[in-house]
Structures are given as structure tokens and as C-alpha cells.
Structure 1
Amino acid sequence: MLFSSRELVQWLGFATFEMFLHLGALLVFSVLVVVKVDLPEQDLSWWGVFGPLFAADGLSTYFTTIVSIRLYQEGEKRLAVLRLIWIITVLSLKFVFEMLLCRKLVQQSSELWYGLIISPLFILLQFLMIRACRVN
């Protein structure tokens, strides 16, 4: 069962533009992972591979800030604050996951264990589950 874009906007809280931004970054990230793994002679660091994901997070934060400021100026203060808090929470949990994973890949002997790395995703899934129940 596929979801419509309207349902995804309601559940995730992202605008359609932001979703396409993150999907594009995920596509570029996937290509860079393949290049990094299959062509080891390339001088590509893991930080460079994760670069599109970090850039998408930054652009999404910028876009959300602009939208929240405009909503606040138009008198939708409650909606602006709730949207800003939700998106910043989602993006910060996603960013922490990406940062920890990249650090683990760079330092193979790192003391980070995978349960710690994936814990921001578990928290994010809990929040999304609560939001999905609240929306419907």
C-alpha cells in the first residue's frame, strides 16, 4: 500500500518540496556509497559520502525557519511554533543518527556500538507513530 503525498505531508510534517529534497539527497548518497565501496581507489571519505544528507538537513532547516517566520507574521503563531518544534526535532534526530554512523564508519575501532547509533531512529519512529495516531 502506497501513501499519497497528502498523507505523507500530514504524518511527517514536511512540505512536499522538503520530501523531494531528502529523496534527492538519498539518491545521491546511494550513488556515492556504491562508488566508495566498489571503487576503493577513489579518494572519497565517508564524510564526503554523507555530505548530501547533511546538506539536505541544512536546507530543510533553512526552509522550515523561513516558513515558520512567515506563518508567525501572518498570525498563525501556534502553528508556526508547533511546526518549527516538530521539524527541528525530526531533523536533529536524523542528523545525530547520520553523524554517529559516519563516525563509526570512519573509525572502525570506535567504541560506538550499533545500538547507540540506531537509538535516534527508534526515538524518531516512536514520535512518528504517536503523530500518525494523532492525525487519524
Structure 2
Amino acid sequence: MLFSFRELVQWLGFATFEIFVHLLALLVFSVLLALRVDGLVPGLSWWNVFVPFFAADGLSTYFTTIVSVRLFQDGEKRLAVLRLFWVLTVLSLKFVFEMLLCQKLAEQTRELWFGLVTSPVFILLQLLMIRACRVN
């Protein structure tokens, strides 16, 4: 079952611009990942491959802060706080997953098992299920 773009925006809580930024980061990440895996760029580390995601998270946080301040100034205090809390929670879990995955790939440590690396994704999926039930 595919979602419409309106449903995706409503469930994720992101604005259209934020989704565009994250899709653009995914495109650049895919190119860098292909270059890294094929070995075409010898000095490319895993941290450099994940830079588009880190930049997208930063831009999305900045955009969310601006939108929340605007909503707060317009008198929509409850909506501003809820939107800020939701988006920052999603971005924080996404960022923790990216950091743990990048550290696991870069250092090949045994202390970071994949269950620990993917735990923020499972928490995020549970939060999205709860939000999906509340939206409809």
C-alpha cells in the first residue's frame, strides 16, 4: 500500500521542504556510498559518506526551529511545542542511528552489535505507529 504525499507529510510531521531536503540527502548519500563501496575514491571514509544525512538533519532542525518560533508568535503555542517536540524526537533518533551505524562501519568494533545500532529505528517505528493511530 502506497501513501499519498499528503498522508506522508501528516504522519511524519515534516514539512514538504524538509522531506525534499532529506530526499536530496539520500540521493547524494547513495552516490557517495556507491563510490565508497566500489573504491573509486580512495580517501573517502564512512564519516564523509554520511555527511549529507548529518547536513540534512541540521537543516531540518534549523527549519523546525524557525517554524516553531513563527507558530509561537502567531499564538499557536500548543501546536508549536508539539511540532517542535515531535520533529526533534524523530531527528534525534535518526541522528543517533546514523552515528552508531557510521561508527560501526568505520571502526568495526565488536562492542557495537547491530541490535544496538538499529534500536533507535525500532523506537522510531513504534512512535510512528502510535502517531498513525492518533492522526486518523
Q: CA deviation at 1:41?
A: 5.1
Name 2:31's counterpart in structure 1.
31
Name 1:124's counterpart in structure 2.
124
Aligned-residue CA RMSD in angstroms?
A: 1.0
Q: CA deviation at 1:4?
A: 1.4
> Unpaired segments of 5 or more residues in structure 2?
none
TM-score w.r.t. length of structure 2: 0.97
1:80-120 CA deviation, whole Å, 9 max, x = no partner? Answer: 00000000000000000000000001111341000000000
Structure 2 counterparts to residues 12-51 of structure 1, below 5 A: 12-39=12-39, 42-51=42-51
SS at match of 1:43: coil
SS at match of 1:48: helix
Q: In the comparison of the two structures, how many residue pairs are matched?
A: 136
1:11-53 CA deviation, whole Å, 9 max, x = no partner? Answer: 0000011001101101110110110010255210111000000
Q: CA deviation at 1:2?
A: 2.1
SS at match of 2:43: coil
TM-score w.r.t. length of structure 1: 0.97
Name 1:83's counterpart in structure 2.
83
> Unpaired segments of 5 or more residues in structure 1?
none
Deviation beyond 4 Å, 4+ runs, structure 1: none
Corresponding letter in the other structure for 2:12: L
Distance 1:129 1:57 in 2: 22
Distance 1:132 1:92 in 2: 19
The alignment-based identity, stated in percent, is 76
